[in-house]
Structures are given as C-alpha cells and as structure tokens.
Structure 1
Amino acid sequence: MRGYISYFIKGMAIGIANAIPGVSGGTIAFVLGIYEKLTYAISILPNALIKLKWDDIKESLKILIPVALGAVISIVLFLKLINYTFTYYPIPTRIFFVGLILGSFPFITKTVEEFNFKVFTAFFIGAFIMAVFVYFDINKPIGETTYSGGFSIIYGIKLFLCGIAAAVAMVIPGISGSLLLLILGEYENISYFISSFLDTFNFQLLMPLVFLGLGIIIGIFTISKLVTILIKKYKSVLFGFVLGIIIVSFLSLWPNISSLSISMLASTVISMCAGFLAAIAMEKI
C-alpha cells in the first residue's frame, strides 16, 4: 500500500509540472526517482496486453495506475490554481521547482553509474540541445483562449499531432510538454477545454480532448519504448545526456529576482525551501 501511495503522490507532482509551461514532467519523474521504472512500465504494457502476459500487465499497472491517477487528479484539481499562480506569481512558482531540483541533486548524480569520456560527451550534447531550446523559448503569457467555438476533423488531427509532440516532450526530461503546446498555439485552448468541461460538463468540449488524449497515449508509449531500449544498452551515457539537459533546465528556471520587493523576496525564499524539502520528503516516501 505504501508503494501505491508513493507513486500516487509522485504522479500528482508530475501532473502539476506538466501543466506549467517551462517545467518538465519528465524532469520531475527523474528527480523523484521513478523515471526508469515509469518508462519501463509504459514500454512493456502494449506487448504484455497483446500476448496476455498477466505478470507483466500486473507489474506495469501497479506503477501506471497510481501515477496516472495522481497526475490526472492534480491537473483537474489544480489547473486553475496553477495557471493563476504562474500568471500572477511566476517567480515563486518557478523557484519552487528550482528548489525541487536542488533537493534532488544527490539522487540525480547517483543515476550515472560511471563517468567517462562518452558520458561527459553525452552530458555536453544534452546541455547544448537544452540551451538551444531555452534560447528559442517563446514563453508568451498565459492569456485568453483563442478557441473560436467550432470543431472540425482537421482541428482534431492538429490536436492529435500536438498530443504526440507533447507526449514526447513529457517523457524526455528537461523539455516541457505544456511549453511545446504553448509554442504550437494550443496551450490556452486546452486549458480552456479542461476548465470549461469541468465547470459545465459540455460534452462538445470533450471531443477536442479525446483527439489530444489519443495523441498523448500513442506518443508516450512510442517514446517510452525507445527510452527503455537505450537504458538497457547505454544507461550511463543516456543519463549523462539527461543530466546535461536537467542542469540547463535548472538554470533556465531561475528567474530575475533583482527587482523584487522584500515581501516577494521572502515568499520566493520560502517557496524554494518548500520545493527543496518536498524533494527530500518524496525521495523518502
């Protein structure tokens, strides 16, 4: 039971991260110590279902169900709150995730079993790729929805492809799936679909989410299989690459605090400490 609760709580953290542009759910999964287990559980499930390997199905669902429930519930419960804090208190919100990553650094470094030339090369490649991504980051403010009220199959296909792209970004640490949706021009719309559907239960708003969800599911299962293969064959090199991504991601999250008022600076420090303590607590769950 303790394991299920642990996966559920960590799933909530992943869900919250995926809802915030600029914060990577894959990074949060990585720093909380469930990235490898999660990608493996996702990658073996399709084959296990096709071949009816009940032991593999049970082992996979034991991880995926509590993590997925935690992620979905956190998004449903906190989406409006997340959008509000990210819009009106972006610095404390970002600093919380900075603290979360800082508190997880001891664990992150342990994931690389040996440091050699290949690992260092992978580290710098990962850091460079993430630096390029950060450089071209077009974080526009979260504003009013651009949804016009009409839905077509063409728009559904676009949402399906956006779902695949976002899923790939969600799985790869350091790249934010919600930021990618923001870049593709659909973050505000999707936030609107979810929030409005929960408020009104208007099933016309459910159709766009179905197309998006199908894309996310296909994208997650496809990229998780690839990640699992790479972990088996090149674990230290892959995690060195991921470590480079996370280091630059951590630097990109650090906001400009030079012009903050005393009260806002105090809340920012408290927020970072809360993130730091949350990482330590979740590693012990």
Structure 2
Amino acid sequence: MGTVETVPGVSGGTVALVVGVYETLITSAGHLLSGVRRAVVDVPRGRGTERAAAELRRVHWRVVVPLLIGMAAALVLMARLIEGFVEDQPIQSRALFFGLVLASVWVPFSLASRATRTPRSDDDIRADGRWSGRDYLVGAGAAAAAFLVVSIPPGNVDPSKPMIMFAAAIAVSALILPGLSGSFILLTFGLYEATLSALNDRDLGFLAFFAAGATIGLASFVKLLQWVLEHHRRVTLVVLTGVMVGCLRALWPWQDDDRALQAPDEHIAAAAGLAALGFAAVLAVLAVERRVTGRLP
C-alpha cells in the first residue's frame, strides 16, 4: 500500500481490498478516532477513560500496527525508486498499474454481489449473488463521476502551508477510496513532485503540515465511510466498484501532460506485457486468498 501510494493513479485502498483488509482498516480507523475523541472529551470532565478504552479495544491492532509499519517503510524506501520509474517510463508504469487495477475491480464487484441490499421490507433482506439493474445504474454513475475527476488537468499551485494542508486532507480521503489515488490528487493540485521531494529530502516542516492536513481529512472522512459500510454495505461496494472502473482512465498508458487520452503509438508490446503482468499478479493474490480461506474474495 505504501509503495503504490507513491504512484499517481493507483490507490492503496485497492491493495487493501485485494488482500482482504479494507473493511477491517476502515472500521478500525473509525473506532480509533472515536476513542481519541471520547478521551479528549471525557478526561478533562473527570469522566474517566472507560468509553475511550472500549472503542480502542475494538481496533484490530494486530492488523493495523504491522500494516502501518510496512506502509511507512515502503514510503521511505520505495519513494525514490518509484519516482524514477514513473518519470522515466510513464507508458510502461501506467500499463503495469492499469492491469493491476483492472483485475482488482473483481473484488468489490463480487463482494457487492454477496452483500444484502438495504431492505425496503422484511422480505427484501437477502443477497441473490447478482447485481440488479439499480446496482449497475449506481455503479455507472460512480464510474462517470470518477472518470470526470481524473480527467482534470494537473495544476500548479503555490505550496503554501494552508494549501499543503488542504491538498493533504483531500489526498488522504482519496487514499482510502479504492481506485482514487492520493498521489493523483496531489498531482492535480501540482504538489506531487514537491511532496515526493520533501519525503526524499526529509523536509520535516513540509511533512509536518502535510501530516496535519492528512489527519484532518482522515478524521472527517473515515467515520462517514465506516457508517455507510456498516449500514449500506452493498450500495457502498457498488459505488466503490464504479469508482475503480472510472479511475482506470487515469492509468491509460498513452496520454499527454494535460491528461488528454491518445491512441497507442509506441511501446505497445511492452505496455501489453506489463498490463498482463499486473493483471496476473492480482489473480495470483486472489488465488492464494481462495486457497487459504476456501472462497473467492
């Protein structure tokens, strides 16, 4: 997840979905935020830490802690390598991740098929394993919206402290949405290269403001996503499927600096091979997951 978050157009949420930890992370983040909020409110008022501790016990620490360590290590160790690959081989890198994300669409699609619909009556509570016409309509709308978002040409804003925080808040919200890349949002703001350079150069001032903005964005968005997953799981997964499909537009290998799509004109064989490699890598992960758990994701 940490590695792909350095690549514009690829979301760490996609990786979380493929390896089966996405919903665990979202619910854990929600409980962690609730625990912190209750501690801040209750302790000064002399109410103790019982409510905060109850929320913190619901966090899946055995998943969250190793994952955060791995993400941090990958961001530090892989940022420079990925930066060079993306800049020097733009067609090949986009093709690789296009195949990866394309195969990953199967995960939320299949999860949505098995999720129960929000019941309209007592008889409407079962999942039939298929998408309904309404599901396809909602998914198509989400795909169209995501397609438009990732079609916005890159900007070039001044990296002032308020702008760094604002961009980080938006980017971290994209980070937890499969298909929508936080790095891509930074590229849209014109802060991708500045952020990557700050990470490589250990610019602690820049990174501090970025972390503050990311914290604000995470606290604002993750509780909403937790709630809709718990109360409207099927439609949420349908929307996530659509978002992933629409965001494939950002990974089309042939496009200019303003994100205008172009017909294939060079490196077709290499791009096709790398797309197939990315597709196969996801299928391999899903096959291993099926063997381990005895079911498809």
Query: Common fold, TM-score beyond 0.5?
Result: yes
**Do residues 180 (structure 1) and 185 (structure 2) align?**
yes
- Is the Cα contact below 8 Å between 2:31 and 2:59 reproduced in 1? no
> Unaligned regions of 5+ residues in structure 1, if any?
1-13, 141-145, 148-154, 198-204
Instruction: Tell me which amino acid in the other structure corresponds to 2:8.
Output: P
Q: Does 1:271 align with 2:291?
A: no
Offset of residue 57 of structure 1: 3.6
Residue aligning to 1:232: 230
What letter is aligned with 1:268? Answer: A
Greater mean deviation of Cα atoms: 94-103 or 77-86: 94-103
1:24 aligned onto 2:11: yes
Alignment counterpart, residue 259 of structure 1, candidates 259, 262, 265: 265
**1:98-157 deviation line (CA, Å, top 9, x unaligned):** 2222333443321113523442232122012112113324389xxxxx87xxxxxxx333
| Sequence identity (%) | 24
Partner Cα separation in structure 1 for residue 64 and residue 57 of structure 2: 10
Provide the residue aligned with 2:141 in structure 1.
Answer: 125
Q: Do 2:3 and 2:75's aligned partners in 1 also have CA atoms closer than 8 Å?
A: yes
Conservation of the 8 A alpha-carbon contact between 1:21 and 1:139? no
- Measured against aligned partners, the alpha-carbon deviations of 1:176-227 in whole angstroms (never above 9, x if no partner) come to 2112112222212111111112xxxxxxx20210111121123123211101
- 2:37 equivalent to 1:39: no
Residue 94 (structure 1) aligns with: 94
Structure 1 pair 136–105 and aligned structure 2 pair: CA distance change class (3 A) = closer
- The 2-side partners of 1:255 and 1:182 are apart by 16
Q: Deviations for 1:62-104, whole angstroms, at most 9, x for unmatched residues?
A: 2221221222111111111111111111122112212222333
Query: In 2, Cα distance between the equivalents of 1:255 and 1:228?
Result: 34
Native 8 Å contact 2:17 2:107 kept in 1? no
Correspondence list, 1:113-262, <5 A: 113=114, 114=127, 115-138=131-154, 155-197=160-202, 205-256=203-254, 258-260=264-266
Output the TM-score relative to the length of structure 1: 0.78
Using the alignment, how far apart are the partners of 2:191 and 2:24 within structure 1?
A: 30
Verify the 8 A CA contact 1:41 1:63 in the aligned structure 2: no
Is this contact kept in 2: 1:122–1:238, CA < 8 A?
Answer: no
Unaligned runs of 5+ in 2: 40-50, 115-126, 255-262, 290-297
- Distance, in Å, in 2 between the alignment partners of 1:224 and 1:32 is 20
2:155 and 2:190 in contact (8 A); partners too:
no
**TM-aligned CA distance change 1:193 to 1:214, over 3 Å:** same
* Residue 79 (structure 1) aligns with: 79
TM-score, scaled relative to structure 2: 0.75
Indicate conservation of the 8 Å contact 1:125/1:244, yes or no.
yes
Look up the SS of the partner of 1:135 in the other structure: coil
CA contact (8 A) 1:163 1:212 kept: yes
Letter matched to residue 88 of structure 2: Y
Q: Is the 8 A contact 2:91 2:271 kept in 1?
A: yes
Count of paired positions? 251
- Mark the CA change 1:139 to 1:30 in structure 2 (over 3 Å): closer, same or farther: farther
Once residues 137 and 268 of structure 2 are traced to their aligned partners in structure 1, the CA distance between those partners, rounded to angstroms, is 38
Moved over 6 A (4+): none
